[in-house]
Structure 1
Amino acid sequence: MTTFDDREQAYEAKFALDQEQEFKAMARRNKLLGLWAAEKMGLNAESAEQYASAVVRADFDQPGDEDVFRKVAGDFEGSGLEIRESEIRRKMDEFGSIARDQIRAGE
């Protein structure tokens, strides 16, 4: 192999690792968001875990974050809570940063 091939393989391996870490971080972000939303809705611990898992699964509906946002916003509305869109999106960003840091730290 040439040095170029080695570099290409290293780049591809780093790209795959970055993609895997981002996938894990988004799943963790969604779980954290689900736990936060469950607390707001007054769910008990077992129900909160189940709800958080449902939020994680909601992310597989469509590419992007809108499916997760719609799930949480719709559930807030269904439970009679008035949580602003900006607050949900801010929490999504906040939990995204926390999740990325946790994944990078190996947590």
Structure 2
Amino acid sequence: MSDPFQEREKAFEAKYEHDEALRFRIITRRNKLLGLWVAGEVGITGADADAYAQDLIEYDLTHAGKTDIVDKVRADLAARGIEMSTHRLELRIAKLLHEAEAQVNAELVGKPSH
């Protein structure tokens, strides 16, 4: 006979792992969208825009601070002569987070369950 408390604990752990994996996918997608948006703002297109987006994803993975990505993007924009307030950039990031979440959820709905 299995222990209901152990089963419950395993279920909570599985849900936590699932939620963290989903959160990671959404944040990574948000960063990709942010990178593509910044690239568009500064006139970078094609493979160079994709490369910038990938660099931004990697930057966020290696810099754990909440404002690090904001600071980096502001610096990248400023280096191209585009001044943007932290507030405006944070609003853009929030919108892109919602977009990323919708995209990832749509992908999950479209996948067949195993």
Normalised TM-score (structure 1): 0.91
> Which residue is equivalent to 1:45?
46
Between 83-92 and 18-27, report the one with greater CA deviation.
83-92
> Which residue is equivalent to 2:100?
99
Q: Deviation string for 1:16-40 (max 9, x for gaps)? A: 0000110111110000001001000
Instruction: State the aligned residue count.
Output: 107
Between 64-73 and 90-99, report the one with greater CA deviation.
64-73
Look up the SS of the partner of 1:82 in the other structure.
Answer: coil
Is the counterpart of residue 7 in structure 1 residue 5 in structure 2?
no
Is the counterpart of residue 70 in structure 1 residue 90 in structure 2?
no
RMSD between superposed Cα atoms in Å: 1.3
Task: Name which one, 1 or 2, has greater alpha-carbon Rg.
Answer: 2
Q: Deviation string for 1:10-65 (max 9, x for gaps)? A: 11000000001101111100000010010000112111101101111110232233
> Which residue is equivalent to 1:80?
81
Percent of aligned pairs sharing the same letter: 32
Q: Deviation string for 1:72-103 (max 9, x for gaps)? A: 11100000111222121111111111112222
Q: Where do 5+ consecutive residues of structure 2 fail to align?
A: 109-114
Find runs of 4+ consecutive structure 1 residues off by over 3 angstroms: none
Q: Where do 5+ consecutive residues of structure 1 fail to align?
A: none
The higher-RCO structure (CA 8 Å, 6+ apart) is 1
Q: Distance in 2 between matches of 1:28 and 1:65?
A: 16
Normalised TM-score (structure 2): 0.86
> Which residue is equivalent to 2:112?
none
> Which residue is equivalent to 2:19?
18
